[in-house]
Amino acid sequence: MIKTNRIFGLDLLRALAISLVLLSHCTFLLFPQSDTLLLNSIRAMGAIGVDLFFVLSGYLIGGILLKVINNEQNLKWSRLFKFWKRRWLRTLPNYFLILVLNVVVALIIGLPLPENTILYGFFLQNFSWGHPNFFTEAWSLSIEEFAYIVLPFALFLVSISFKKKSGNKVFFITTIGVIALLTIFKIHYLLHTEITDYHQWSWSFRKVVIYRMDSIYYGFLAVYCVKSFSNFIRNHKYRLFVVGLLVFLVLHACMYSFALLPETHLWFYTLIYLQVIGVSLLLLFPYIIALKGTAGLNPVIEFISTRSYALYLVNYSLILLHMQQWIATEGWGLWLKIGMVTLFMLMTFTVSNAVYLYFEKPILRYRDQKFPR
């Protein structure tokens, strides 16, 4: 087996996240008109998959930034600019490629574009308001792009201003401070918003930049904990995994048992739910990242992981929505619907694989040559 520098546990987390998203979207082909507890639970797993992407992204870029802050004796702004260039070459090309494809397809088939489509070019389409019903995956990319700017800038500003302070201490205090400031926006939302159902809450809060950047920053706090309490975490990674799983299950059991809904318990959905989800997922990390995999499993997980970004951008607005628009599966038998799901998955993986091999991978190769770690 060819050895690579990839970490199986991280690949597994990426593969798990995108698998949850794809699984939730498959239910719209299999049971388009159904609305049961089981189906809603599976569909909610798609949102959990995005939350997993958020905290994993924060964990990875937080680790990069903490290492830079601790290892650089003469910390300079050029290090931050290099970080941004590497991030932007990782995220922007795919985003703009799929954005252009969505616009072209909409123009060809006569679908209306949002009035302020130009905002997509600056990731402002959901900055402090609900995301338009176009290229709907883009809401999470806006959150990530602003998250890559705000806290990293604050970390460098504080670190350069207080050069004699411990890098770990600066990292922790600054992260806590930014999360606290973002909480002010959430409190304002809680005090000035009336919600009628989950979908309105999801549109007006869960998918809005200023309310969700902190989800990524919980990954920064996890990095700090791993570096500061490495022996404890290494020795108790299985217990932490069990605790994280129990917290996740108990949280949702309580929501169901006590009928906690956004329209009746907005405080819970604004200040508790998403934060606890993030923490519970992060508690799984030490155990999963330490997994080694097997010779037969590693190539499969690596394949899905490396294409996870393209899979996320391609699967819904570019493929699934158009399949639903042109092919009415209502009244179809189960086997025909399974055939539709199979077609959806084949198209999604084929297009995503092409995007990865002929667009994303060459750009990443250029990035690593032009701006090496």
High-pLDDT (> 70) share of the chain, %: 98
The pLDDT of residue 1 is above 50: no
High-pLDDT (> 90) share of the chain, %: 84
pLDDT digits (tens, 9 = 90+) for 77-86: 999 999 999 9
HSE-CB for 345 with a 13 A CA cutoff: 16
pLDDT digits (tens, 9 = 90+) for 304-320: 999 999 999 999 999 99
Q: Average pLDDT of 225-241?
A: 96
SS3 25: helix
At 103, which amino acid appears? V
Q: Average pLDDT of 139-152?
A: 98
By C-alpha distance, which of 82, 8, 3, 102 is closest to 294? 8
The pLDDT of residue 185 is above 80: yes
Spatial separation of the C-alpha atoms in residues 120 and 132, rounded to whole Å: 10
Spatial separation of the C-alpha atoms in residues 291 and 302, rounded to whole Å: 14
Q: How many CB atoms lie within 10 A of CB 325?
A: 10
Q: Check: CB of residue 125 under 8 Å from CB of residue 119.
A: yes
Domain ranges of the chain: 8-370
Q: Check: CB of residue 93 under 8 Å from CB of residue 363.
A: yes
Whole-model pTM: value is: 0.95
State the average pLDDT for the chain.
94
Q: What is the dihedral of CA 124, 127, 128, 130, to 10 degrees?
A: 80
The pLDDT of residue 163 is above 90: no
Spatial separation of the C-alpha atoms in residues 99 and 371, rounded to whole Å: 26
The pLDDT of residue 3 is above 60: no
By C-alpha distance, which of 25, 97, 17, 34 is closest to 344? 25
pLDDT digits (tens, 9 = 90+) for 84-134: 999 999 999 999 999 999 999 999 999 899 999 999 999 999 999 999 999
> Cα 171 vs. chain centroid, distance in angstroms?
22
**How does residue 4 score in pLDDT terms, banded at 50, 70 and 90?**
low
Spatial separation of the C-alpha atoms in residues 182 and 161, rounded to whole Å: 22
Spatial separation of the C-alpha atoms in residues 225 and 352, rounded to whole Å: 35
